Structure 1
Amino acid sequence: MNLFNNYKHLPTFVLLGSACFGQYQFEVKNASKSYDAVIHVENCYDGRCSGKGTVDLFDHKNTKVQTFVSDDLVLNLNEGEKPAQGKMFPLKKENSPIIIDDFNFDGTEDIAIRNGNMGNYSSASYDVYVFNSTRIAFVKSKELTDLASSFFDIFEVDAKRKRLIAYGKSGCCDIFTTEYAVIPNKGLDKVLEKEEDMTVEGRVKVIIKEKLNNKWVTKTKVYPSEQYNREK
C-alpha cells in the first residue's frame, strides 16, 4: 500500500511538518572552489540571523556532501535584505556564516561553521572541521575549534608560510598576535607571540617571543607612537 496516496489531498505543509517551514533558508553559490552551501537558521530580525541552524554542503554537481549543526548560526545581512520564512534566499559569500579554506595545509579544503560569539571580547567563534581522507568526511577538530573560539574572530591562514595567525586584545591598548605552525599528524605548535603595548601615551612597546631551534627568544623594542607602523 502506498501510504502517501492516502494523504495526497492534504496540504504540503502537513506532510512536511516543520522541516521546511518556520526556518529561514539561504543558498551560498560558489562558497568555495569545490562547494556550494544551503543554510537553515531559526531566527532573523533587524538584519541579523541567529539561533540553532544547519549547513548542508554540496559539491558543484549538486550532490550533498555533509550536514553540519550549529547551536548559534549567526549571520549578518546587508541593509534592505529581508528573507522570508520557508523561501530560499541567495546569500553573498562575504555574509556567509561558513569559511572554507585549507586550515591544516594538507591540500584539501576544510570548513569553519559560525557558532555564536564566544571569542575575545564576544567576537565571532567557529566550529572547525577538517577533511579526513580516510573517512572521506569532515571531522571536527577540537584544537582548531578552540583556536577559532578563543581569539578575536577566526584565525588568519598564511598558506605561504603554513601558519595560522590569531589576534586578540586586552583593554583598549594592548594587542596580541600569536602564530602557530601546523605539524602533520601532530597538530599545532605555537612559534611566535607578539605584544603591542600602547598603554603609555606617546610610545609603543613591542615584545616578540619567537621559537627558534626549539628555544624561545625574546626581543623588546620601544617606538615613538608617531613612528610605529603596525603593518610592518
Structure 2
Amino acid sequence: MVKRIIPAVRLCLTLAISAALPTLASAASFDCAAARTPIEHAICDDAQLSALDSELAAAYQSAMKGQGDAAEQLRAQQRAWLRSRSPSGTVDLAALKAAYRARIDELKALPVFPGPDARVAGPTFRLTKAAKQHDFILRMLQACPAPDHSGDSTCEGPAQLLIYAKGQSKLAQTINLANVFVTLPRNGDGPLVNSAQLYDYQGVLNVGDFNFDGNEDFGIQTGNEGSYGGPSYDVYVFDPKTARFVYNDAMSELILETLGFFDVDPVHKRIHTWAKSGCCYHEATTYRVERDAPVAVARHIEDAQGSGDKMKVTDEALVNGKWRSKVHYEPMPN
C-alpha cells in the first residue's frame, strides 16, 4: 500500500483508431459527408484544422508501429484524448488547433521501444517487493547519471515496465512509457517505491487498491508536471476480466491537479487529495470511486488569505446529491 508520511460522442472523430487510414477525398481522417457533431463539422469546415486532423492520424499510425507489445496502451490513450476533445457545444477553434499540435508533437516524440528481451542502454530495476500480487521490472532505455552517494539521485527518460504475476516467469504485460522519473535513495536499496511523502521525492511505483475491488492497481511516476512542480503519474487499474492493467485517465488527472500521489483509505474505501494556493489556502478533498473514477464527496478548506486575525474554515459534504457547507473561524496560524 502507498505510505503517506505527511497526511495532510460518439467517436466519429476516429483519427485513425483503425489499423489503416481510410482512403477519402476529404483532407480529414474521417468522411466529412457523415459529420454530425460540432467538432466534426468544425474539422471539415476549416482547412487548417482538417489538415491537422490528417497529420494527427498519420502521426498516430507511425507511433503505433514502434509500440510493440504495448500498442493497446497507446490506442487507449488516443481514445481518451479523443473523448476529451469531443465537446457537444461551441468549438474553440484556436484551442482545438493548439491541442492538435501538442498531441502531434507528443506522438512524434515517442521513442521506438524494443522487445522485452532486447537489451537496453540504461539500468534495469527489479521491483519484486512493491506489490503482493505482481512483480515488476523497470527498464530504462537510456543510460542514467552515476549515483550520487552523498544524497538521493534521480534517473529520468523513456522506460519499459514489464509485469508478471507474483513469482511467475511468464511475461503478463508490457507498458511503454515516454518518460519515467526514478528516485534512487542514497542507501542503495534500489528505486523509491510506495512513498507519497508530501513536498519530497515520491515512489516511482506506488501500489494500492485504488478502486477497492480486491485487486492491486499502481501509479508510475512520469515526471514532475504536477501542481507546484510536484510529481505526475500515469495510473493503471487492474481489469480482472482481461487480467491486464488499464490506463486510468481520471485518476492520472487527479494527481496532476493536486499535490502528489493521492492517499488511499482501504477501511473507508476512500481516496484523499491535498491542494493549495500560495501560502494561505489549503484544501483536502475526499473521494469515493465509482466505475473506476473518483467522485468528490467531502472537502475541508482552510483559508487564511484575508486580513485580520481569523482563518476561515469550511467543511463541505455531498449529501443526497447536493453540497452542504459549514463555516467557522479559527485563530490565524503563524
How high is the TM-score relative to the length of structure 1?
0.78
Q: Note closer, same or farther for the CA distance 1:35–1:215 as it changes in structure 2 (3 Å cut).
A: same
Rounded Cα–Cα distance in structure 2 between residues aligned with 1:169 and 1:187? 22
Q: Secondary structure at the match of 2:119?
A: coil
Unmatched tracts of structure 2, length 5 or more: 1-114, 195-201
Aligned residues: 203
Deviation at 1:186, TM superposition (A): 6.9
Deviation at 1:102, TM superposition (A): 0.6
1:39-188 matches, within 5 Å, as: 39-41=138-140, 42-45=142-145, 47-58=153-164, 59-79=166-186, 81=188, 90-91=190-191, 93-94=193-194, 96-183=203-290, 185=291, 187-188=293-294
Greater than 6 Å deviation, 4+ residue runs: none
Unmatched tracts of structure 1, length 5 or more: 1-15, 82-88
Q: Deviations over 1:184-218 (max 9, x none)?
A: x3733211122111335744321122111221111
Q: Secondary structure at the match of 2:253?
A: helix
Deviation at 1:129, TM superposition (A): 1.1
Rounded Cα–Cα distance in structure 1 between residues aligned with 2:242 and 2:288? 25
Structure with a larger share of its residues in helix? 2
Q: Contact 2:205–2:219 (CA<8 Å) still a contact in 1?
A: yes
**Which among 127, 142, 152 is matched to residue 28 of structure 1?**
127
State the match for 1:12 in structure 2.
Answer: none
Rounded Cα–Cα distance in structure 2 between residues aligned with 1:194 and 1:71? 36
Q: Contact 1:70–1:114 (CA<8 Å) still a contact in 2?
A: no
Structure with a larger share of its residues in strand? 1
State the match for 1:190 in structure 2.
Answer: 296
Q: Deviations over 1:143-192 (max 9, x none)?
A: 11111222111111111111111111111121111111112x37332111
Rounded Cα–Cα distance in structure 1 between residues aligned with 2:208 and 2:225? 21
Rounded Cα–Cα distance in structure 1 between residues aligned with 2:139 and 2:289? 32
Percent identity, aligned pairs only? 29
How high is the TM-score relative to the length of structure 2?
0.55
Rounded Cα–Cα distance in structure 2 between residues aligned with 1:127 and 1:180? 18
Q: Secondary structure at the match of 1:147?
A: helix
Deviation at 1:63, TM superposition (A): 3.0
Deviation at 1:69, TM superposition (A): 2.1
